[in-house]
Amino acid sequence: MVTATHEASHRLFQEHPEALAPVFEALGLPPPAKADFHELSPDATEIRPVERRADTVLMFEPDMGEHFVLAVEAQTKKDPEKARNWAYYVSYLRAKYDLPVLLVAVCRDPSTAAWAMGPFDCVVGPWTTQVTRPFVLGPQTVPEVTDEAVVAQQPALAALSAIVHSHSKRAAGILEAVARGLVSLEPDVTKYWFEVVEVGLESTPARDNWRKLMQNVVTHFPGHGTLFEEKYLEGKSEGKAEGKAEDILRALTVRGVPVSDDVRQRVTACLDLDTLTAWFDRSLTASRAEDLFAGETPAP
Does residue 13 sit in the same domain as residue 60? Answer: yes
Answer whether residue 279 is part of any domain: yes
Answer whether residue 143 is part of any domain: no
Question: Which whole number is the average pLDDT over 164-191?
Answer: 88
Average pLDDT over all residues of the chain: 83
Does residue 68 sit in the same domain as residue 183? Answer: no
Answer whether residue 118 is part of any domain: yes
Answer whether residue 201 is part of any domain: yes
Does residue 122 sit in the same domain as residue 189? Answer: no
Does residue 61 sit in the same domain as residue 93? Answer: yes
Q: Which of these three, 109, 137, 165, is where a domain ends? A: 137
Does residue 16 sit in the same domain as residue 116? Answer: yes
Q: Is the pLDDT of residue 210 over 60?
A: yes
Does residue 32 sit in the same domain as residue 132? Answer: yes
Does residue 92 sit in the same domain as residue 188? Answer: no
Does residue 210 sit in the same domain as residue 248? Answer: no
**Reported confidence tier of residue 216, pLDDT bands at 50, 70, 90:** low
pLDDT of residue 177: 92
Q: Which of these three, 216, 241, 271, is where a domain ends? A: 216
Tally of structural domains, the chain: 3
Does residue 25 sit in the same domain as residue 116? Answer: yes
Per-residue pLDDT tens over the stretch 65-111: 889 999 998 888 898 888 888 999 999 999 999 999 999 999 988 99
**Reported confidence tier of residue 264, pLDDT bands at 50, 70, 90:** very high
Answer whether residue 185 is part of any domain: yes
Q: Is the pLDDT of residue 51 over 80?
A: no
Q: Is the pLDDT of residue 221 over 60?
A: no
Q: Is the pLDDT of residue 235 over 80?
A: no
Per-residue pLDDT tens over the stretch 268-291: 988 888 888 889 889 988 899 998
Q: Is the pLDDT of residue 134 over 90?
A: yes
Does residue 130 sit in the same domain as residue 175? Answer: no
Answer whether residue 298 is part of any domain: no
Residue 248's domain spans which residues?
A: 227-293
pLDDT of residue 288: 92
Answer whether residue 221 is part of any domain: no
Does residue 91 sit in the same domain as residue 163? Answer: no
Please write down the HEC assignment for all residues of the chain.
Answer: CCCHHHHHHHHHHHHCHHHHHHHHHHCCCCCCCHHHEEEECCECCCCCCCCCECCEEEEECCCCCCCEEEEEEECCCCCHHHHHHHHHHHHHHHHHHCCCEEEEEECCCHHHHHHHCCCEEEEECCEEEEEECCEEECCCCCCCCCCHHHHHHCHHHHHHHHHHCCCCCCHHHHHHHHHHHHCCCCHHHHHHHHHHHHHHCCCCCHHHHHHHHHHHCCCCCCCCCCHHHHHHHHHHHHHHHHHHHHHHHHHHHHCCCCCCHHHHHHHHHCCCHHHHHHHHHHHCCCCCHHHHHCCCCCCC
Answer whether residue 142 is part of any domain: no
**Reported confidence tier of residue 119, pLDDT bands at 50, 70, 90:** very high
Q: Which of these three, 166, 190, 216, is where a domain ends? A: 216
Per-residue pLDDT tens over the stretch 151-167: 999 999 999 999 999 98
Q: Is the pLDDT of residue 239 over 70?
A: no
Question: Which whole number is the average pLDDT over 201-220?
Answer: 76
Does residue 27 sit in the same domain as residue 109? Answer: yes
